[in-house]
Every structure is written in C-alpha cells, then in structure tokens.
Amino acid sequence: MSIELRVTSFEKHSAVQGAAWCGGLLLRVATVVSAIWLSACASLNPAANFPTTEAQVAASQPGAPVLDIQSWQTAEGAKVLFVASDALPMLDIRLVMDAGSARDGDQAGLASMTSALLGEGTKGLNVDDIARGFEDRGAEFSSSSYRDMGVISLRTLSDPEFREPVLDLFGKVIGTPSFPEEALARIRTQMMQGLRMEKQVPGPQVNKAFMATLYEGHPYGIASDGTLESLPAIQRKQLEQFYESYYAAGNAVIAMVGAVSREQAEAIAAQISAALPAGEAAPTLARATPLQSRKREHITFPSAQTSILIGNQSTWRGNPDHVALYVGNMVLGGGGFASILTDEVRQKRGYVYGIGSGFSAMASGGPFRVSFQTANENADQALSLTLQLVEQFIQQGPTDSQLEEARTSILGGFALGTADNSDIIGQLGAIGFYDLPLDYLQQFSQQVRAVGAEEIRQAFQRALNADNLAIVSIGPKAPEIVPVDEAPGSELAAVADEAGRGKE
C-alpha cells in the first residue's frame, strides 16, 4: 500500500500496455519512453535482400522452454504449483486467493483494505517488528488486491539462514493478522488521499467509469479501491470476517519458484497452508452479461487531451474462443506498432501517442477494451476512425497474411514469457487460480498454430457487436461520431504548417 508520489515517472511505458521493468539501485533515472510494442503485421516490403539475416532467422526453430511444473494439494486443500530453479540463490512465493473486490458485497474497498492491512500486525508483533523482521534479512513482502484475486508475495534469499526465519515470520503475518485499529485508521486515510489524487488526472477516472458502465449490477462494477463514501464505513470486524472467509487454505493457490528442493517446497507449502484459516473455496459468481445497446458516458474535465475507452463485456476465463480472440486482437490492437489501430491512428495520422486494444479474461467475465488519448481538437476524428476500424475488423476478421504474421510473432516470442523467475511465478499464479492444465502454455501454443482466419472472425462476432459498444470519455467536451477523413496524406501539410509556426 503506497501512494505514488514519484512524479519522475517518465520511466514507465505508455498507458496502453504498461509494463514496468527493472529499477534497481542504479536505475533510478528519469527517462522518457516511446511506446513501441510487440507487434505483428502484414505489408512488409523492405528493400530486396534486407535484412540479410531474415532467411536464417525465419528458418530457425525458436526455443520454447517447457516449464517443469510440479503440483500437489496441501492437507488443508490449498493447491500448490512449484518450479525448481537453482540458478539464483533466491525463492519467490506467491499466494493467490479468490479474495478480490468481486467479494466486496455492498462494502466497496473491503477486499482492498483487508489486503493492505496484512503486514500491519500479528499476534505478538507490531508493524515495526514485522517490517524489520523482513528487511533485516533482505526479504521483500507485499500484498495487493484485484477484482478476482487477493495476492500476497514474498521474495527471499534461499539460504536457510535467511529463508527459515523469513518463512517463520511470513506464516505469522498471513496466518494471524491482528488488524489493529490504529493501522485501519491510518490506511483508510492513505487510501482516501489516494482517491483524491486520482481526481487530479484523467486516466483513473475514465477507467473507473468504464468498468462501472460495463458492469453495473455485477460485482466487477464495484470500485476496487473503494470510494470516499464507502471507505469511512468499513469496520475492523468486517476485515476479520473477510479474511476468515476468503484467505482460507481451501481458497488459496501457493505458487513457488526458486532454489529449494521438492521436499523443502512441500514443507514450506505445508507450513503456509497450516497457518491460514481453515475453509473452502469461495462460491462461483454469476457470469456478467454484455450491454445490449450502445451506452455513452462522459466526464467533463479541463484536460488538454480527451481520453476515450470503447468496449463491452465480451469474454471470461475458460471461453473456448480465448485463443482466437487473443490472436485476432494481436492484429487489431494488441500487437503494438504493427497492429491496425497503431498503424492507422498513430503512424498515419499522428492523433495519439498510444492506442491499444485487449480482452482481459477474468473468472466471471472480462471486457474487450480499446483505449487512447488524443488532443481535444482531434477527439471526434480519432473516435470515429477507431470505431470504424473496430467495426471493420469484427466484420472481416484478419487476412491470412495478417494471421500468419501474428502467429509467427506469438510463437517466436514464447520463450520471453518464462525467462525470469518473476515471469514464471506470474504464470504459475494464473494457472493455479484459473484451474488451467499444467501444460497450459504448450496447449496454448498448439492452439495458436491451429487457429484459422475464419475461426477468428466468427469468434469476434460472437464476442462483440459494434452497435453495442460502450463509449466512455473524459475531457472538456464529449466527442462526437463524425464522417472519417479519408486521406492522411492531405493532412500532412497542415500538420507541418502548424508545427512549423510553433502554434502549440
């Protein structure tokens, strides 16, 4: 739990697919990053014989390491996933519980606050003792909360001199949290200050409005970090109850990667599982339903850009169309520079810095979302163009060559997804939480190989209807749908002229 204060945050990628990398002691530097992302595309016509290495690279079989995932259940019913890796003397542990804000009920922010108070006190130890206990030994402890999940992470050196006392403390912290009133009051104030700070900038406001618009009446519509109205009402008793129900061993996945043996991993999992409250998996939530007609929401805000989100409820974990939608979206807007949206809206017209689209599958639903920000005077054009491109793609799907590019790209980059221990622990957490088969990654790549263009087109049509997409925006005025300007070439002169005169 912390409030983001470091405004030297130029080191993050554009909002479209924010992936913060790195940041050791040496790397606290302010940088401006341009958004160039994983992409896949057609129409590539480099000069003949360039690059000379392309044939060689195209012919080589990219390595795709197979994760040796070991899995078992603890006596209390927690599911364990473990990958042994002794390359570095460290151990990562991640607990994933079905304890996200979808379980908040009528108390928005409850899951989030429960998560934030873990580490603030346990039987016999106060927050200072806990913080010192981890940090004296170089261990990193954190907890976080999402719509589906409550996540607890621990990173420690694997040598028993460090690992054993750290795990001992970890067991106490997660097993007997004391939810002190003092910490509750302090963290409530911090969270409310955080909510006020969000109102300074357009992004968080429009994102919240988008989820509220799509999931009105469904638990996914709850504001995950609460509201200025809901947070003051949360009581200590509710946190205890939430913890007892949802942080139960039977509701937990324990993922581990690092330099310990199978026997040691079994002992660690048993220790963690025994520390947690006894209890079952949380009941399944009803699947969210898509909007059946277009919905418009606009927040009036004095910004230089208009931020726009377009989308609908469209998928869920376990959707048989998952791979078809994923591959298709790489062509439409998930593939960065080579995807249709970036090519048309940024490259050809210069309307945006970043634009992207994606399906995020959660347990009980998941939105398709297109997002971008554009200068207010371009908002009508950028919105209309984007809608047109999305509609065209739903109707037509990808061409065979677009599909082939996306396929090569996904399969060629497969190794990057499990290169680091931090990548692997993320994969294990998701595989365990969403009950995916242990060879999910291999199955996924086989399906990517097999999927056809027509299959993708049909999957998009099942998932999306262009007439029912919500449009949620923030800016000085609501953008309007207008006829799209056809020829980007004719605008260039105007653009050059404006920049040249220094009108900005």
Partner 1 sequence: MKKWILGLTLGLWAGLASASLATHSFTLDNGLKVLVREDHRAPVVTVMVWFKAGSIDEAPFETGLAHVLEHMMFKGTEKLQPGDFSKLVARYGGSDNAFTSYDYTAYFQQYEVSRLPLALELEAERLANLQIDDDEFYRELQVVLEERRMRTDDNPNALAWEKFQAVARPGTGYAHPIIGWRSLLSQLQPEQARSWFQRFYVPGNATLVIAGDVTRKQVEPLVKKFFDDLPAGETPPRPKQTVNPPAGERRIDLTLPVKVPTLFMTYNVPSLVTAEDKRDFYALTMLSGVLDGGMSARIETDLVRGQKLVAGAGASYTGIQRGNGTFTLQAAPNPGISLDEVESALREQIKKLQTTLPSEEEMARVRAGVLAGQVYEKDSVMGQAMELGTLSTLGLDLALSEKFGDELAKVTAEDVQRVAQQWLVPERLAVGHVQPEQGEGK
CA-based nearest residue to 389, from 406, 373, 370, 408: 370
Q: Does the protein bind partner 1 through residue 122 (CB under 8 A)?
A: no
Residue type for 466, please?
A
User: Are residues 271 and 333 in contact, defined by beta-carbon separation less than 8 angstroms?
Assistant: no
Q: Does the protein bind partner 1 through residue 22 (CB under 8 A)?
A: yes
Helix (H, G, I), strand (E, B) or coil at 299: strand
Only one of the segments 43-51, 268-276, 361-369, 478-486 lies at the binding site for partner 1 (rule: CB under 8 A); that segment is 43-51
Only one of the segments 232-240, 302-310, 395-403, 450-458 lies at the binding site for partner 1 (rule: CB under 8 A); that segment is 302-310
Only one of the segments 108-116, 143-151, 315-323, 413-421 lies at the binding site for partner 1 (rule: CB under 8 A); that segment is 413-421
Other residues' Cβ atoms within 10 Å of the Cβ of residue 470 = 22
| Nearer to partner 1 (CB atom), residue 135 or residue 280 | 135
Range list of H helices, 83-143: 110-117, 127-135
Q: Does the protein bind partner 1 through residue 243 (CB under 8 A)?
A: no
Q: Does the protein bind partner 1 through residue 3 (CB under 8 A)?
A: yes
Q: Does the protein bind partner 1 through residue 370 (CB under 8 A)?
A: no
| Nearer to partner 1 (CB atom), residue 186 or residue 295 | 186
Among 18, 138, 232, 437, binds partner 1 (CB under 8 A): 138
Q: Does the protein bind partner 1 through residue 57 (CB under 8 A)?
A: yes
CA-based nearest residue to 253, from 233, 269, 235, 238: 269
> Shortest Cβ distance from residue 40 to partner 1 (Å)?
5
Helix (H, G, I), strand (E, B) or coil at 110: helix
Q: Does the protein bind partner 1 through residue 476 (CB under 8 A)?
A: no
| Separation between Cα atoms, residue 311 and residue 365, nearest integer Å | 13
> Shortest Cβ distance from residue 356 to partner 1 (Å)?
13
> Shortest Cβ distance from residue 339 to partner 1 (Å)?
9
Report which secondary-structure segment, H or E, holds 450.
helix 440-450
Rule CB under 8 A: which of 79-98 touch partner 1?
A: 85, 87-90
Only one of the segments 33-41, 69-77, 219-227, 431-439 lies at the binding site for partner 1 (rule: CB under 8 A); that segment is 33-41
Q: Does the protein bind partner 1 through residue 377 (CB under 8 A)?
A: no
Q: Does the protein bind partner 1 through residue 51 (CB under 8 A)?
A: yes
| Nearer to partner 1 (CB atom), residue 53 or residue 293 | 53
Only one of the segments 106-114, 281-289, 369-377, 434-442 lies at the binding site for partner 1 (rule: CB under 8 A); that segment is 369-377
Q: Does the protein bind partner 1 through residue 228 (CB under 8 A)?
A: no
φ, ψ (nearest 5 deg) of residue 476? -60, -35
| Nearer to partner 1 (CB atom), residue 236 or residue 462 | 236
Name the packing angle between helices 440-450 and 322-329 (round to 10°). Answer: 70
- Binding-site size for partner 1 (CB under 8 A) equals 129
Q: Does the protein bind partner 1 through residue 293 (CB under 8 A)?
A: no
Among 107, 178, 373, 473, binds partner 1 (CB under 8 A): 373
Residue type for 26, please?
L
Rule CB under 8 A: which of 194-223 touch partner 1?
A: 194, 196-197, 199-202
| Nearer to partner 1 (CB atom), residue 71 or residue 445 | 445
Q: Does the protein bind partner 1 through residue 408 (CB under 8 A)?
A: yes
Rule CB under 8 A: which of 414-473 touch partner 1?
A: 414-416, 418-422
Range list of H helices, 215-281: 236-246, 262-275
User: Are residues 242 and 99 in contact, defined by beta-carbon separation less than 8 angstroms?
Assistant: yes
Helix (H, G, I), strand (E, B) or coil at 372: strand
Only one of the segments 72-80, 275-283, 337-345, 385-393 lies at the binding site for partner 1 (rule: CB under 8 A); that segment is 337-345
In the chain, the N- to C-terminal Cα span, in Å, equals 39
| Nearer to partner 1 (CB atom), residue 210 or residue 215 | 210
> Shortest Cβ distance from residue 91 to partner 1 (Å)?
11
Helix (H, G, I), strand (E, B) or coil at 464: coil
User: Are residues 339 and 37 in contact, defined by beta-carbon separation less than 8 angstroms?
Assistant: no
Q: Does the protein bind partner 1 through residue 338 (CB under 8 A)?
A: yes
Longest Cα separation, the chain: 72
Q: Does the protein bind partner 1 through residue 371 (CB under 8 A)?
A: no
Among 101, 178, 374, 473, binds partner 1 (CB under 8 A): 374
Among 353, 384, 391, 484, binds partner 1 (CB under 8 A): 353
φ, ψ (nearest 5 deg) of residue 256? -140, 140
DSSP state, residue 215: T
Other residues' Cβ atoms within 10 Å of the Cβ of residue 245 = 16
Query: Number of C-alpha atoms within 13 angstroms, CB side, residue 448?
Result: 22
Among 124, 302, 320, 483, binds partner 1 (CB under 8 A): 302
Contacts of 403 (CB under 8 A, 6+ apart): 327, 331, 451, 452, 453, 456
Residues forming beta bridges with residue 498, ordered by sequence position: none
DSSP state, residue 233: G
> Shortest Cβ distance from residue 133 to partner 1 (Å)?
9
